[in-house]
A and B are shown apart, each in its own frame.
Chain A
Amino acid sequence: MTCNPDLWGLPAEELARRIRGREVSAAAALESALERTARVEPLVHAYLEIFEEAARARAGEIDREVAAGKDPGPLAGVPVALKDNLNLEGHRLTCASRILEGYVAPYTATAVQRLLDAGAVIVGRANMDEFAMGSSCENSAYQETRNPWDVATVPGGSSGGPAAAVAAGSVAVGIGSDTGGSVRQPAALCGVVGVKPTYGRVSRYGLVAFASSTDQIGPIARGVRDAALVTQVIAGHDAMDSTSAERPVGDLLATIEEGIAGMRIGVVKEIDVVLAAQAAAAAPGPAPNDMAASFRAALAALEQAGAELVEVSIPSLEAAIAVYYVIATSEASANLARFDGVRYGRRSPGAASLSEVYFDSRSEGFGAEVKRRIMLGTFALSSGYYEAYYGKACAVLAQMRAELTAAFGRADVVVTPTTPSAAFRLGEKVDDPLAMYLSDIYTTPASLVGLPAVAVPSGFDGQGLPLSLQIMGRPFEEATVFRAARAFERQAGWQVAPRFRGAEVGAG
């Protein structure tokens, strides 16, 4: 079969259909993706490593299965990029950190195994903020990833690599992890769809832990149907993860085209306050106002599609960042204690005692943001401060859970903007960690309370950069969230190919 140069642009669903139907080969699909990647990668730097040889072998396997009359599965031959915190046996994994330089995954994560079982071809490991801590991908120890819409801006984070790879057309599907918005925020900034499934929906076995009470694995794709398809593939109970829920997943695509006539869509009252405060605070740039206008237009589109808008109230929204950055850093300080230079990862070459192994390996191996969060978490858990910070954050979280539960009594889904603004410029927030944290205001509540949420493109700001709508649902009601997201996608239709502004484009 000849190499079809346009295969890279197909949705995963359509590509797999053609490969299963023997219209095209997995090998041709992969070559198309690799050619596209070779073209765009010098502009966006999405990957830390491309598994060219392994991917070719895998695509050949898929083609042999198809030739032998077997069905490789719903992702047959679909090229997929993994965030570099997901284990794939025999391949390197670094979490974009120096401390894991040279680490080779000793086993395969359950979610990744499920992708493979569905016929996917893993093409590489994509860049991220170190240990998934960041909102711009600038905390990677290895490289800066660029946003395909404007290469002077960030792709978001922490799953900036997979999001940029999907937006740039390198792969149809990226897999990220979302602890406080790390799939949804980069998807929003790159103009693609990102999913944070319900806590417990996708097994975390084989995902390097950051904050265990919120970490979830989720897909990034160019359309809602692909995002639902991949969620379907990776979801479901796994005995290897004790936090994985024994709940049936159902068919997430079965009702996705049914529309939202009569669906009650909750609009969070407090958003107006947040948007107004933000507009007042942000002197330079018209971005927040653009976001407010875009959000109002999104609400109008949902209403036009037949939904009923209802007002809901989440007074604790304003405190979400504070709660999140206490709880997540506390958990991170404990989870990252395992990186001590003893069992795996980098050991400081000069360490002459066990204690020096700990102190030197960690001090030399972790980057600034990871250290900052470990310090903050250690502080919040330390004697004398525990009650005031960690205890108080847990109490406010209980309040937030109660408010959201009440909101979902009135509404079937709840919508907010995904982010306060479109992509910001590289370097703009590097020296102001708090400003960086504030970009997670809308995504942290669903993380803290464990709700499913989807980020879906909702237009552009005045600079031509993508904006995004977040749709949250009740626990385990991913199907409802996808149905709403798909209806919005059809109604608003914002999928456009990125323009690689600021770079000499060989895209096309």
Chain B
Amino acid sequence: MALTTEEVRKIASLARLRFTPEEEAAFAGQLGKIVDYIDQLQRLEAGAGSAPLAPLPPISLAAPEDDDSPGPCLPRETFLANAPAVLDGFLLVPEVRRTSTADARQVPAAGPGVGDDL
């Protein structure tokens, strides 16, 4: 099954990835070839009617019996030390722009580069 460039673009958007047109074309071919191979699964009769919803853990994992009590966790400074940008003990990100024209209640963004990204 060959994937169209349109499909590749849609999957990329779901995965929060962006590709150049050349990359899209390459991915369409490669993914199509892999999907063709994986399609052999469709020929197998296995597990009809009893398909589990997820790959069951290979062992039965007992539910933890510990009290669900608070314990020490990673100190905030330690965690933030790896963050690309921080302000007053919080993660700092650029403004969250409007996600669609329907959602107009959000504060309009000031500054350059205003646009819908998602």
Residues of chain A touching chain B, judged by Cβ–Cβ distance below 8 Å, are: 103-104, 106-107, 198-200, 213, 239, 242-243, 245-246, 316, 318-319, 321-323, 325-327, 333, 337, 340-347, 351-360, 362-363, 366, 371-372, 374-376, 378-379, 382, 388-389, 391-401, 433-434, 437, 448-451, 475-476
Kindly list chain A residues whose C-beta atoms are within 8 Å of the C-beta of B53. 391, 394
Q: Is the interface of A mostly helix, strand, loop or mixed?
A: helix
Tell me, yes or no, whether B105 is within 8 Å of chain A by CB. no
Task: Knowing A199-B59, A363-B17, A371-B17, say if A388 contacts B84 (CB, 8 Å).
Answer: no
Kindly list chain B residues whose C-beta atoms are within 8 Å of the C-beta of A355. 96-97, 99, 117-118
Task: Knowing A395-B47, A434-B33, say if A347 contacts B85 (CB, 8 Å).
Answer: yes
The complex places the Cα of A99 from the Cα of B21 at a distance, in Å, of: 23
| B38, A326: Cβ atoms closer than 8 Å | yes
Kindly list chain A residues whose C-beta atoms are within 8 Å of the C-beta of B27. 371-372, 375
Show 26 A/B contacts (Cβ-Cβ < 8 Å), sorted by A.
A104-B82, A107-B74, A199-B58, A213-B54, A242-B61, A243-B61, A316-B46, A319-B40, A319-B44, A323-B41, A325-B34, A333-B15, A342-B84, A343-B82, A352-B113, A353-B115, A362-B16, A371-B27, A375-B31, A382-B11, A395-B47, A396-B41, A396-B46, A401-B56, A450-B58, A475-B59
Task: Knowing A322-B41, A327-B55, A451-B58, say if A399 contacts B46 (CB, 8 Å).
Answer: yes
| B15, A375: Cβ atoms closer than 8 Å | yes
The complex places the Cα of A375 from the Cα of B15 at a distance, in Å, of: 7
| B61, A200: Cβ atoms closer than 8 Å | yes
Residues of chain B touching chain A, judged by Cβ–Cβ distance below 8 Å, are: 3, 8, 11-12, 14-19, 27, 30-31, 33-35, 37-38, 40-42, 44, 46-48, 50-59, 61-62, 64, 66, 74, 78-79, 81-85, 91, 93-97, 99, 109, 111-113, 115, 117-118
Kindly list chain B residues whose C-beta atoms are within 8 Å of the C-beta of A107. 74, 78
Kindly list chain B residues whose C-beta atoms are within 8 Å of the C-beta of A389. 38, 41
Q: B46: nearest residue on chain A (CB-CB)?
A: A399
Kindly list chain A residues whose C-beta atoms are within 8 Å of the C-beta of B19. 363
| A325, B94: Cβ atoms closer than 8 Å | no
Residue of A319, A382, A398 near B51 (CB, 8 A) is A398
Residue of A352, A360, A362 near B112 (CB, 8 A) is A352
The complex places the Cα of A118 from the Cα of B27 at a distance, in Å, of: 47
Residue of B18, B52, B84 near A341 (CB, 8 A) is B84
The complex places the Cα of A398 from the Cα of B58 at a distance, in Å, of: 10
Distance between B63 CB and nearest chain A CB, rounded to angstroms: 9
The complex places the Cα of A358 from the Cα of B83 at a distance, in Å, of: 14
Distance between B24 CB and nearest chain A CB, rounded to angstroms: 11
| B91, A354: Cβ atoms closer than 8 Å | no
Kindly list chain B residues whose C-beta atoms are within 8 Å of the C-beta of A397. 55
| A353, B97: Cβ atoms closer than 8 Å | yes
| B51, A395: Cβ atoms closer than 8 Å | yes
Kindly list chain B residues whose C-beta atoms are within 8 Å of the C-beta of A388. 42
| B44, A433: Cβ atoms closer than 8 Å | no
Kindly list chain B residues whose C-beta atoms are within 8 Å of the C-beta of A199. 57-59
| A354, B57: Cβ atoms closer than 8 Å | no
The complex places the Cα of A242 from the Cα of B66 at a distance, in Å, of: 11
Residue of A316, A318, A356, A450 near B57 (CB, 8 A) is A450
Distance between A72 CB and nearest chain B CB, rounded to angstroms: 27
| B42, A392: Cβ atoms closer than 8 Å | yes
The complex places the Cα of A371 from the Cα of B54 at a distance, in Å, of: 23
Distance between B51 CB and nearest chain A CB, rounded to angstroms: 4
Q: A348: nearest residue on chain B (CB-CB)?
A: B84
The complex places the Cα of A476 from the Cα of B60 at a distance, in Å, of: 12
Kindly list chain B residues whose C-beta atoms are within 8 Å of the C-beta of A343. 79, 82-83, 91
